[in-house]
Amino acid sequence: MKHKVKRIHFVGIGGSGMSGIAEVLANQGYEVSGSDLGDSATTRRLAAQGIRIAIGHSAQNVATADAVVVSTAVREDNPEVLMARERRVPVVPRAQMLAELMRIKQGIAIAGTHGKTTTTSLVASCLAEGGFDPTFVIGGRLNSAGANAKLGSG
């Protein structure tokens, strides 16, 4: 029987990449939760959108998760990762979850050493101004959208 993922928990949700992916998945109808070491404008913004946020890491944060997404900053001995593995819940790296988002739509990937956020913001803005409704996840805030991520129709 195939495992149906409904509830996704993000360990390190306050990061720009993690928060963007979490926001897009929440807008797709997944029940998203997340934890981070500290309160921030990002965690408060996500909470205002209905995403359950826990400050600090605890095994109980993943008690009902069907999948757990981790950033590269999260260590293997994190209590949420340990509990997920104990429960045999998939622990998915951020890059893999982003790849899954890219798989369901046509995508443009911006890579490099410097200027990725600026270039990605420019591409997203041009597509929006051109009448497209792009989905984007950016490493920084896109001022014209008021966010670092958006679920669009394109």
pLDDT digits (tens, 9 = 90+) for 3-51: 589 999 999 999 988 999 999 999 999 999 999 999 999 999 999 999 9
Q: How far apart are CA 93 and CA 62, in angstroms?
A: 16
Pairing mode, if any, of strands 31-36 and 7-11? parallel
Residues 101-126: tens digit of each pLDDT: 888 778 888 888 899 989 989 999 99
Coil, strand or helix at 22: helix
Provide the pLDDT for residue 107.
86
Nearest to 67 by CA among 21, 32, 39, 103: 32
Q: What CATH code would you report for 7-103? A: 3.40.50.720
Q: How confident is the model at residue 2 (pLDDT cuts 50, 70, 90)?
A: very low
pTM: 0.87
Average pLDDT (59-86) is: 97
Q: How far is CA 68 from the centre of its chain?
A: 11
Do 42 and 51 touch, CB atoms closer than 8 A? Answer: no
Intervals of CATH 3.40.50.720 along the chain? 7-103
- Which whole-number Å values give the CA distances from 20 to 14, 31, 51, 137, in the listed order? 9, 15, 12, 5
Residue that is written with structure tokens 């998939």 in the block: 90
Provide the pLDDT for residue 3.
58
